[in-house]
Chains A and B, each alone.
Chain A
Amino acid sequence: MSAVTKFKPRYRADTAEIGLIDWDKLPPMSAEWVNALRTRAQLSVIETGMPTAKLERWKYTNLNAKLKKMSLRYHEAELDLSGMTDYAYSFSKGMLHCPEWVREMLEAEAPSNNKYGDMMLWQAANAYLKDGFIVDVPADKKTTSALEVTQTGRDGHYIVPRQIIRVGENAEMTIIEYQSGSRSYWANIVSQIKIEKNATLRHYRFQENSDESVITHNTHIEMEEGANYEAFTITTGAGLSRNQIHADLKGENIICRLNGVNMLDGSEIADTTITVEHQEPNCESYQDYRSVATDKAVGTFQGKIHVHQIAQKTDGYQMAKSLLLSSQATMNTKPELEIYADDVKCSHGATAGRLDEDALFYLRARGIPEKQARNLLIQAFVNEVIEGVTDKNVREQANLIVSKWLDQSDANSSAEWLE
């Protein structure tokens, strides 16, 4: 607990109760170790509270302000598994027969907990360990269709679903998650993913949450030699979303792709915070994000590539581009490279701007009305990332979501720029 002491002044213990809604009422589990884990986590939350803007990685996103205004009760998460469900199962009620590897993952420390001291949400999730799902793809199994997970949020619910995913050696798996819901709810999700030697996981997320919802999602990926991870997340909503991803590249020749598109309107807040740890040589990591923000929406992208001294021949790439369609929309972009090896290739770029006026005029000069021309350009902008998605159906679904967003959003109105 030494690290906790070190960072203590930044903590706000008085925010703890936000993260412990109805905790006393949780029925105990029959597996004692789960109850012990919950209690340890609860004590940690009492000590540190919830993340506040005083923490470097939380300085753009005020979670507590949002949560304080909500009236929530803890509920079991509504999850529906469909498609390729052969290797997936929901947590059994008691977890008495929980496999040893699952228990090990559940009891593991949150990644980088000591270093940044801002993994309170992980602890808060541990305090409610109860439901969720496990995916365990055996070695050499190459699945052809995708596992689809649908999560629905209900008004007034606080849900804490856990995801434990293991893809065995040489195996291949695709998981598609759909998040949606109505009115005001908070989902505090932890995903723990293990991709073993030469295995592949394609992991897609469609986040179409309600305008009043809060989504905090911690994803921890551990990759072994030759493993391949492709993540793509499209977010059109949540009143506030925090997608925090931590990837540990623990072997050589790993390829890790973390890509996403954010389409934000109203007063939505979307925060993507990524850490990629290059711990071995000869690995590639990519972070490629496009954000479109209009009205008073706020987008945040914080991406870090940490190349350890041993990780020579690392190829790290990071690109975060944003399009601001109104004068009151905000985009915060913070790229970070921390490199201790001397023979590496790392690049990062960030842009923020309006639609290209030359391109807009060119399209209009060919007869395309202004609104349609703007939509075409916005679509093209996010398409730079969408077209890189391996799964064709996911590409098509993502394009549909973008079209729908463009139809609904006032993004198209240029009136604000006319003055």
Chain B
Amino acid sequence: MIEIKNLHAEIDGNEILKGLDLTIGDGEVHAIMGPNGAGKSTLSYVLAGRDGYEVTDGSAELDGVDILEMEPDERAAAGLFLAFQYPVEIPGVQMTTFLKTALNAVRKARDEEELDAIGLLKLMKSKCKELGISDDMMKRAVNVGFSGGEKKRNEVLQMAMLEPKFAVLDETDSGLDIDALRIVADGVNALRAQNRSFLVITHYQRLLDYIKPDKVHVLADGEIVKSGGPDLALELEKKGYAEFTKEAA
């Protein structure tokens, strides 16, 4: 269960989040939609703990523990996962090395037994198969030379391996064609579980055709200005964000 209360955050002294409240129950999928500059990506970075984003007020609790004081890697170990809008290319670090290092770091922090090379390979192969990722991709450097679709599938693969309690998907649909979108969405849907919550951040309703949300929120000017069921996404698709940006202004 995620509880974000009165979250204020700024970058270089500019306040971007202005008192955001959001509660996501176990196993629920919530979507956040909103116009450019509303603070959608800021929210995802603040939750993941990126440098340069300063939290000035409020809290974000994951199963009752405030994660905002934690280092980024501690948040990951606590069960937070951010699927990046723009996954970073890391030349020279092979996918298998990366996955093994990440998984074992998280397992160690969670007091679980670390996996040996064979155990990891087995797990990786089965997850890759589920997501339609070729073994060849695992031999390459992290995200280097990956197509847009491959990068996003890779994010889902990492999510599948790290088994988070709470996953934030930051504009996962950006840069994807319909086929790639469906594969990625299927991957996410396969990970839906009773003890796992999702926050899907998106501009467009399109992604929500594939990943059905329980609730939809509109984020404008750093606050949640409207919440509703899946129908709200359809309504936004028709009307646009004009009324919210006007309100905010």
B90 touches A380 (CB 8 A): yes
Known A361-B72, A372-B105: A366·B93 in contact at CB below 8 Å: no
Instruction: Please tell me which one of the listed residues A357, A362, A367 contacts residue B51 in the complex, with CB atoms under 8 A apart.
Output: A357
Chain A residues contacting B244 (CB-CB under 8 Å) are: none
B109 touches A367 (CB 8 A): yes
Q: What CA separation (Å) do A363 and B75 show in the bound complex? A: 12
Q: How far is the CB of B81 from chain A (nearest CB, A)?
A: 8
B73 touches A359 (CB 8 A): no
The A contact surface, by secondary structure, is helix
A383 touches B162 (CB 8 A): no
Nearest-CB residue, chain A, relative to B143: A362
A368 touches B102 (CB 8 A): yes
B92 touches A365 (CB 8 A): no
B92 touches A366 (CB 8 A): no
A377 touches B93 (CB 8 A): yes
A380 touches B73 (CB 8 A): no
Q: What CA separation (Å) do A370 and B51 show in the bound complex? A: 13
Interface centre among B82, B92, B158 (most CB of A within 10 A): B92
Nearest-CB residue, chain B, relative to A383: B92
Instruction: Please tell me which one of the listed residues A356, A365, A376 contacts residue B72 in the complex, with CB atoms under 8 A apart.
Output: A365
B88 touches A364 (CB 8 A): no
Q: Does A64 contact B (CB under 8 A)?
A: no
Nearest-CB residue, chain B, relative to A373: B73
Chain A residues contacting B97 (CB-CB under 8 Å) are: 376
Q: Which residues in chain B, 134-154, are within 8 Å of chain A measured between CB atoms?
A: 141
Q: Which residues in chain A, 357-406, are within 8 Å of chain B measured between CB atoms?
A: 357-359, 361-370, 372-373, 376-377, 379-381, 383-384, 387
B93 touches A362 (CB 8 A): no
Known A361-B50, A363-B102, A380-B93: A368·B73 in contact at CB below 8 Å: yes
Q: How far is the CB of B37 from chain A (nearest CB, A)?
A: 21
Q: How far is the CB of A272 from chain B (nearest CB, A)?
A: 21
B162 touches A376 (CB 8 A): no
Chain A residues contacting B105 (CB-CB under 8 Å) are: 366-369, 372
Known A372-B105, A376-B101: A364·B71 in contact at CB below 8 Å: yes
Q: Does B91 contact A (CB under 8 A)?
A: yes
Chain A residues contacting B77 (CB-CB under 8 Å) are: 367
Instruction: Please tell me which one of the listed residues A362, A369, A381 contacts residue B84 in the complex, with CB atoms under 8 A apart.
Output: A362
Q: Does B207 contact A (CB under 8 A)?
A: no
B48 touches A365 (CB 8 A): yes
Q: Does B87 contact A (CB under 8 A)?
A: yes
Q: What CA separation (Å) do A357 and B158 show in the bound complex? A: 20
A369 touches B93 (CB 8 A): no
Chain A residues contacting B106 (CB-CB under 8 Å) are: 366-367
A365 touches B82 (CB 8 A): yes
A367 touches B91 (CB 8 A): no
Nearest-CB residue, chain A, relative to B92: A380
Known A368-B73, A369-B105, A370-B73: A363·B90 in contact at CB below 8 Å: yes
B50 touches A367 (CB 8 A): no
Q: What CA separation (Å) do A357 and B73 show in the bound complex? A: 14
Q: Which residues in chain B, 97-133, are within 8 Å of chain A measured between CB atoms?
A: 97-98, 101-103, 105-106, 109
Q: What CA separation (Å) do A384 and B144 show in the bound complex? A: 13
A379 touches B84 (CB 8 A): no
Known A357-B51, A361-B72, A372-B101: A366·B162 in contact at CB below 8 Å: yes
Chain A residues contacting B102 (CB-CB under 8 Å) are: 363, 366-368
B92 touches A364 (CB 8 A): no
Q: How far is the CB of A418 from chain B (nearest CB, A)?
A: 10
Instruction: Please tell me which one of the listed residues A358, A359, A368, A381 contacts residue B101 in the complex, with CB atoms under 8 A apart.
Output: A368
Q: How far is the CB of B99 from chain A (nearest CB, A)?
A: 9
Q: Which residues in chain B, 42-93, are within 8 Å of chain A measured between CB atoms?
A: 48-51, 71-73, 75-77, 82, 84, 87-93
Q: What CA separation (Å) do A361 and B49 show in the bound complex? A: 9
Q: How far is the CB of A381 from chain B (nearest CB, A)?
A: 6
Q: What CA separation (Å) do A387 and B94 show in the bound complex? A: 12
Q: What CA separation (Å) do A107 and B51 show in the bound complex? A: 62
A379 touches B72 (CB 8 A): no
Chain B residues contacting A373 (CB-CB under 8 Å) are: 73
A364 touches B93 (CB 8 A): no
B72 touches A384 (CB 8 A): no
Q: What CA separation (Å) do A417 and B24 show in the bound complex? A: 37
Q: What CA separation (Å) do A358 and B91 show in the bound complex? A: 13
Chain A residues contacting B158 (CB-CB under 8 Å) are: 366
Q: What CA separation (Å) do A361 and B47 show in the bound complex? A: 13
Q: How far is the CB of B160 from chain A (nearest CB, A)?
A: 13
Q: Which residues of B contact A (CB under 8 A)?
A: 48-51, 71-73, 75-77, 82, 84, 87-93, 97-98, 101-103, 105-106, 109, 141, 158, 162
Going nearest first, the 7 A-B pairs with the smallest beta carbon separation are: A380-B92, A367-B76, A367-B106, A364-B72, A366-B102, A362-B88, A383-B92
| 5 residue pairs A–B, Cβ–Cβ below 8 Å | A359-B90, A361-B48, A365-B73, A365-B76, A370-B73
